[in-house]
Amino acid sequence: MSESRTHVYVHGGVSGTDKPLPSLAHSLVEAVAAATALDGVEEAVRRLEDDSELNAGWGSVLNRNGVIELDAGIADGTTGHAGGVAGVSVRYPVSLARRVMGSTPHVLMAGEGAMALAESMEVLDGTTERQIERYDRALDSGKLEARHYGADEHVDTVGAVAVDASNHLAAASSTGGVFGKLPGRVGDSAIFGAGTYASPGAAVVGTGVGELFLETLASARVARLIEEGARPQSACERVIAYLGTRSDAPAGLLALAANGQVGAAYRGGSWPVEGPSGPLGAVCLE
């Protein structure tokens, strides 16, 4: 691993359908120049939150009432600290999550309490026209009913893992949640161990239907395997295979070890994952 830069890997959300993979290179330009892994993942996720084609920040999906409720989490492997926000409406939820971690004694804050910390941050009162039209079509066709929750085309999140020149690790994740979710629903992105995890030995982020990651603490499972000596690729594949025994929902896991080894595995139709050398080529498990 180069001693002169932070190595950052990002993903743009797993999909149950096979669709063209977007380039995520724009999210890495400034992130790899960050002085620390923690700064690197925050910068990368902020750029992904700016991407109107991704389900995070600007561009997020709407809940069943046609409102945005955004979740994000960030974790510092060096200190063991984490921060998360749920049900917020700021342009960069990942930075609000970092504010929770750095400026409060708490790990997770939601709704009004989290928004009270968003002083000077840009607030969102809606989403893109594309997402509004998507909501209107679903409303007219009855596809907002509970039986459609977590459909293949509804699942996506963004995230990043990084290791810096001091071999310190960090992870961050951000999402608009699952399209058509009930108001007040909280997914896995904000929850340490479920959708986001970092320790001195591993950094992990997940993507898919959050309930599956919450019930299995999937990111923590991957990290434990790495900490016990497994390569990140093997750890991701093993946990994705386990998730497949519980549900056929799309799911993806991206992991990084302190020595710079990286792994990514998923179930589903497509999943964009990118690193300093370009697209990573995540392993798809049937």
Distances, alpha carbon 146 to alpha carbons 16, 180, 182, 189, in Å: 18, 8, 9, 21
Q: Which residues are designated catalytic?
A: 157
DSSP classification of residue 285: P
Other beta carbons within 10 angstroms of residue 5's beta carbon come to 15
**Distance (Å, whole) CA 116 – CA 128:** 25
Pairing, β 202-208 against β 251-257? antiparallel
**CA-closest candidate to residue 251, choices 173, 150, 169:** 150
d(CA 146, CA 166): 47
Distance CA 89, CA 97 (A): 12
Q: Is 72 left (phi over 0), alpha (psi -120 to 50) or beta?
A: beta
CA distance 157 to 141: 25
Choose among 163, 189, 167: nearest CA to 178: 189
Element (H, E) at 171: strand 169-175
